[in-house]
Amino acid sequence: MAISAGGDTEKPMSDINTTPLVDVMLVLLIIFLIAVPVAIQAVKVKLPSVKYDPTTTKPENVSLSITTDKEGKCAIYWNMTRVTHQELLDRAVTKLKAEIDRQGGVGNPALELPEAHIRGDVATPYQCIGGAIYTMQMAGFAKVGFISEPPPGEATARL
């Protein structure tokens, strides 16, 4: 603390003692220097550097297109035929059973199950697309993927 020890002037001293302020700021600086590296921990993950990976379409794969109709309801198309969720489930189960039987049954060690490829409209609510994914997984499809369009001018080769 600063003390005025007499003198010619009788007005009070108006200087601010900055020593406590500097002490507090140094303590906070030390706390933040210790705490920030602890708070910023991340698991190192190497993400794939693929801009666009072309899809190889097999005839046994299922192609679904999902959009909304004029009333705002979900519209699911199996190839070019519009289906309801129950029809989608029935068709998917039938397709999967037929493909397993065609390849020699469940005991075949080289069994390759078909995939479901979903094309979802950008303006389609997620509940429509999520419902189709759930239905295909209930039917037994292990691989459900999305078909997307790369941005214009993007390269189709791996980096």
What Rg value do the Cα atoms of the chain yield, rounded?
A: 33
Question: What pLDDT was estimated at residue 42?
Answer: 62
Instruction: Name the pTM for this structure.
Output: 0.61
Question: What pLDDT was estimated at residue 136?
Answer: 94
Question: What pLDDT was estimated at residue 88?
Answer: 95
Q: Per-residue pLDDT tens, the chain, 159 aa: give them.
A: 555 555 666 777 778 888 889 999 999 999 988 887 776 766 666 655 656 666 677 888 899 999 988 888 999 999 889 999 999 999 999 999 999 998 888 888 888 888 999 988 888 898 999 999 999 999 999 999 888 776 666 655 544
Contact 96, 114 (CB under 8 A): yes
Output phi, psi for 95, to 5 deg: -65, -45
What's the rounded Cα separation, in Å, for the pair 133 and 117? 10
Asked if the 62-146 domain carries CATH number 3.30.420.270, the reply is: yes
CB-based burial, 121-134: b 16+ in 10 Å, e otherwise: eeebeeebbebbbe
What's the rounded Cα separation, in Å, for the pair 154 and 131? 31
40: tokens are 């910023």
Contacts of 119 (CB under 8 A, 6+ apart): 63, 64, 65, 66, 146, 147
